[in-house]
Amino acid sequence: MKWLAEHAWVGGQWSAKVLLEADDTGHWSRIQPHAPLQACEGAQPLGMVLPGLTNAHSHAFQRAMAGLAERTERPQDDFWSWRERMYQVALRMGPEALEQVAAWLYAEMLRAGYTQVCEFHYVHHDPQGHAYADPAEMAWALVRAAQRTGIGLTLLPTVYMRQGFGQDGLSDSQRRFRADPDFVLGIQSRLTHFAQSNAPGLLYAGVALHSLRAVPPEALHEVEQALPQAPLHIHVSEQTREVQDCLQSHGRRPIEWLTEQVSLNSRWHLVHATHATPHELKLIRDAGATVVLCPTTEANLGDGRFDWTTALSLGVKGSVGTDSHVNRNWTEELRWLEYVQRLQWQQRNVSLQHQAGDTAGRLLGWALEGGAAASGLPLGGLAVGQRADMVELDLGCDALLGLPASHVLDAWVFSTPSSPARRVFVGGQAVPDRREELAPGFVQAMASLVS
């Protein structure tokens, strides 16, 4: 299959008359800007094309509470009170409802230009806290949701063993999350075998460790040793209380302590890292690990401000995710990443750090490279050997109408409203918009979860 794009984002810039050719495995075999006419014979025409992006952090079940946690009867609302409300949603969601909610969410992601999602999955057991007859029942619901929509899925079954530093076991509200390394590694192995036979190149399985507060050191070591290659994701330093508890328990800040416990390397993806110090960011950079930032969720939950300017100056790699799904557009994640810095420093185009260039292009390149690493798959953009994912923009939408080609990405990221893609391709195949057929199931699931 081959296409001819009027303009495509290749190597960090717009190129004209780009021939894009995919092989039978769904990977790019040819990317040729300024392609000669004879080479383009039989190519399908496209307008302006961006690479698909990886959503590097998702809790699909939390889509059911987006917009429903913006009221409080408490004198002060914070992350920890929000968490209790989130637990109540998790306690009510069975596999059927999870599949419906996730399928709707994944269709939204595709429409926004995400073509792969890293699902940080920790709702393992039934509402009473018992294992299903098939312990992977909830994981299969997510696989089915991805297959129904056409999005690629990196599934990260999650180790979750205790409720806090120095504490044993989980609270009753966390009973569905209980999972030790043996449980999670068993699910990861089954997912890997399934992917090889049924969804090669689209489904991949790594492992997540919920957080340092929820996973004891021996479990960190066990997972690290059992999986020498797969990506490992972990929440870290999201809240100041988490940092204080780690200091009290271990005499180290979370990322400092993590680097002493494991061989931190490029397989590790540290979600949030909101309160990482410059020293800890250097540790991440030197190890080749990445951060996974979720700016809209971090703002919604009042987590704090990630030290983006220091991370950029150090060359820390990373990606973005939508986490709790109060937003489902990667443009909004990148916009918030930049705008928070503008408010802090009272400057513009902070991500360029006073260099010439375009802010949107730098943000996209950063998220594209880091997202591929977080997914465990070749998703680095429009380049030979990468999976043939692409997004055709709708040049007639409000944000892009009348703009010169050179400024389209700038407007796609920084000009509201966030606009849907015209067409999305995953592995060389056009993915249809299935929201109309998925909507009734989502509405039914929501009715069962929200009272």
Residue numbers annotated as active site: 272, 323
15, two tokens: 């190129």
> In b/e form, how buried is each residue of 245-270, taking b as 16+ CB within 10 angstroms?
bbeeebebbbbbbbbeebebeebbbb
- Cβ atoms within 10 Å, residue 180: 15
Nearest to 211 by CA among 286, 272, 160: 160
Strands 2-10 and 44-51: parallel
**Beta strand spans in 203-307 (E):** 203-205, 207-211, 232-236, 268-272, 290-293
201, two tokens: 């190149």
Q: 28 vs 25, 46, 69, 384, CA distance in Å?
A: 9, 16, 43, 5
Residue 275 makes CB contacts below 8 A (sequence gap 6+) with 237, 238, 239, 240, 243, 304
Q: What is the dihedral of CA 370, 374, 378, 381, to 10 degrees?
A: -30
CB 66 within 8 A of CB 442: no
CB 46 within 8 A of CB 428: no
Residue 288's φ and ψ, nearest 5 degrees, are: 80, 10
- DSSP code for 265: -
CB 50 within 8 A of CB 9: yes
- Cβ atoms within 10 Å, residue 218: 11
> In b/e form, how buried is each residue of 37-70, taking b as 16+ CB within 10 angstroms?
eeebeebeebbbbbbbbbbbbbbbbbbbbbeebe
Question: Taking each helix axis from N to C terminus, what angle separates 435-449 and 95-112, rounded to the nearest 10 degrees?
Answer: 140
